[in-house]
Structure 1
């Protein structure tokens, strides 16, 4: 991402982005760097993360508490503190309530919900020392809209939204803001893999585009811009919200388009 003359509201701040090596996470890391932050991308495979003085690539498994604590300790030891946590790492899941066994429920909830709790828990002692502490959790339109074949994923993201509000209440008087971003269907590698497996990928993409009122998939850069707003010191009165970035899918109810002539 190439930017010039953009606002530098993250100058002097240190951020971590879990799942920061690809997709939405990589776009968030790029956005925060462009706005002045030093960014540590925590990922199972951080090999694609650029190496420069503003970026730190750290291997981290959010499913393992020791790995999480070691990663955050490395960031703090390298840059002296921590101001912003973006809990973006997560995994997808498909199927109705009858389709996934217990071990898959445990795997997805552990990654998508408990993983965020592990990261926040390890980061809190450092965030309490920051004057601009913020946590942003990646939720989903699946938390607020009933989507077909997404029961397990929807349950995990509904938990993220509820956890975000509870964390915001717990930590507001410590000066730590907690918010969530709630993307619609985004043009990410995971969606790309789902489309590749469809019987008619072009028709499936067209259907995903059409169900969002603005008629297309959400871009990773659009989600990154919303995360930057929520994490920015300029947004000091914004806490406990889930900011929809979904082309109107959550709140708009448009009339059907007229048939073509």
Structure 2
């Protein structure tokens, strides 16, 4: 047995003869906050698609939580097993309040919520805790449609949190945010990383340097470099293919 919550071995994905992922091996440990970077076309989104069952690999193994073969399970079933994914653009119910959005998200795992019975005290506590963690307590009764862009991003993260994911996949969570919102998001990631694994795909290198510990770099579908953020930042190959020139590192 390993201590990997997600373990991918020799995964290859091809589209029209082009290898988007090329014999890639990649893993995340239980309770780890990992950042994933790389230039456009490196295979980052495809990697998330593989983890969530949206795309099937041509070859390779993808094991979640030490026992579940991701390649044999539907996207919907993977959500039930504890994989939550946030895409780049926030997707919330604009006409519902923040609290109602969280209540609806809780219903994704328990469909009877909001239809035939009220929340249990424990379910209510989960939402209250999520409001605190996402800095949205004072917006609890505000319609989601009038939230700022950053607040909508936090709300969508909260909508995943109430479903108690074991692995949270976040695709560019700070895109379009103000500096202050980015800082709040980084602090949020470190808070919610306690008790779950998180993979963050990000292009904002200032944000990565500020909040990342372990970073993985993809390039042309392969693992280029992996290690502590300072080590990755100093890697000459990373500077060459991702940052563009030596001074940027």
Tell me the TM-score normalized by structure 2: 0.35
- Give the number of the structure with larger relative contact order, counting CA–CA contacts within 8 Å between residues 6 or more apart: 2
Q: Which structure dedicates a bigger proportion of its chain to helix? A: 1
Tell me the TM-score normalized by structure 1: 0.33
